[in-house]
């Protein structure tokens, strides 16, 4: 049996070795992606003899998930799966692992569309060329032409203003939120503060747009590898026409043009979020599956 233990800050370098070795870098599986949300989703990890890191989540969504590591070098998957029992379900299994294991009589795979991660070509998100991006171009232009704005690279000198923006943004949303949404945003606020508090410990970057001297939108992103950037947090006041589209465009143009791909994570099955993410024409989806041991 696997021996699970709590994921701690001291595991950062150890864990990241396995994340870096993974053939595909899912945003969900970066150390920051797990550690920053540990207050809401406590994480345990276990290293198997096959040199794979398996994870187990507590909180409202308990269960096994993973693995992290170079799954292409696993020579004996029967042994790797022997650590689990009949009836166990492993969540968020990367599509590449499903392709390796599919067809085995003792496994059942179920696609989890809500957890697929959206990946876009950075050059397309900057150029916004063609009919497919006409609406996005118009929204960006509406903001850039409609307001007296300033763009800044997100640096520690702006952190207090970002926290103030978060508070104002939350107040703005309070009348339309239910209890579950409010709790989710509470968790997100903690994760954002975790990012700002450990800015120099991760490969973070970000940008802010100001209107009349106050932040109207910001983005905070994490480098997953030299070719892939993940947008961790993106917020804007929607009353500024085109603010979301503008911060996405300005950040990628000014600070992310060196990357090939930008990951904007999953839509969690929310119809509005799915529509928004699809509207940017993803270049690919990083698929995830539930894997049941039969």
* Cα gap 16→122, rounded to integer Å: 24
- Answer whether residue 278 is part of any domain: no
How distant is the alpha carbon of residue 45 from its chain centre?
Answer: 19
137 and 161 together in one domain? yes
Task: Kindly report the pTM of this predicted structure.
Answer: 0.95
91 and 140 together in one domain? no
From 116, 149, 180, the end of a domain falls on 116
192 and 243 together in one domain? yes
Nearest to 217 by CA among 236, 239, 240: 236
User: Tens of pLDDT along 9-28?
Assistant: 999 999 999 999 999 999 99
What mean pLDDT value characterizes the chain? 95
Contacts of 13 (CB under 8 A, 6+ apart): none
146 and 259 together in one domain? yes
Mean pLDDT, consecutive 10-residue segments, the chain of 294 residues? 94 98 98 94 95 90 92 95 95 96 95 97 97 96 97 98 92 73 82 96 98 96 98 95 97 98 96 94 97 96
For 196, the domain range is 118-265
Q: State residue 178 phi and psi, 5-degree precision.
A: -90, 180
Cis geometry, peptide bond prior to residue 279 (ω within 30 degrees of 0): no
- Answer whether residue 271 is part of any domain: no
* Cα gap 173→3, rounded to integer Å: 43
Where helices occur in 65-213 by DSSP H, the ranges are 77-81, 95-101, 122-127, 134-146, 159-173, 179-197
Note the pLDDT of residue 278: 96
Query: For position 20, which CATH number holds?
Result: 3.40.630.30
User: Tens of pLDDT along 169-208?
Assistant: 888 777 676 777 777 788 899 999 999 999 999 999 999 9
């Amino acid at each position: 049996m696997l021996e699970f233990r709590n994921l701690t800050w001291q595991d950062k370098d150890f864990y990241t070795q396995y994340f870096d070795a993974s053939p595909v870098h899912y945003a969900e599986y970066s150390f920051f992606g797990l550690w920053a949300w540990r207050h809401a989703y406590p994480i345990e990890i276990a290293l198997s003899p096959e040199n794979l890191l398996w994870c187990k989540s507590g909180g409202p969504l308990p269960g096994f998930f993973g693995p992290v590591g170079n799954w292409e070098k696993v020579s004996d998957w029967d042994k790797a799966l022997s650590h689990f029992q009949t009836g166990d379900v492993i969540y968020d299994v990367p599509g590449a692992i499903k392709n390796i294991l599919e067809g085995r009589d003792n496994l059942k795979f179920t696609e989890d569309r809500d957890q697929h991660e959206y990946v876009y070509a950075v050059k397309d998100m900057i150029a916004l060329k063609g009919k497919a991006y006409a609406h996005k171009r118009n929204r960006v232009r509406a903001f850039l032409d409609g307001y007296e704005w300033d763009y800044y690279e997100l640096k520690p000198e702006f952190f207090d203003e970002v926290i103030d923006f978060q508070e104002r943004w939350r107040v703005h949303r309070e009348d339309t939120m239910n209890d579950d949404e409010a709790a989710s945003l509470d968790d997100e606020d903690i994760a954002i503060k975790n990012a700002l508090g450990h800015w120099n410990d991760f490969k973070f970057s970000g940008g802010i747009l100001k209107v009349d001297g106050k932040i109207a939108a910001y983005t905070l992103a994490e480098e997953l590898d030299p070719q892939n950037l993940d947008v961790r947090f993106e917020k804007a006041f929607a009353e500024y026409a085109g603010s979301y589209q503008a911060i996405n465009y300005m950040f990628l143009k000014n600070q992310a043009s060196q990357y090939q791909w930008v990951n904007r994570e999953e839509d969690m099955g929310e119809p509005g979020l799915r529509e928004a993410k699809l509207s940017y024409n993803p270049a690919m989806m990083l698929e995830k599956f539930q894997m049941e041991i039969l």
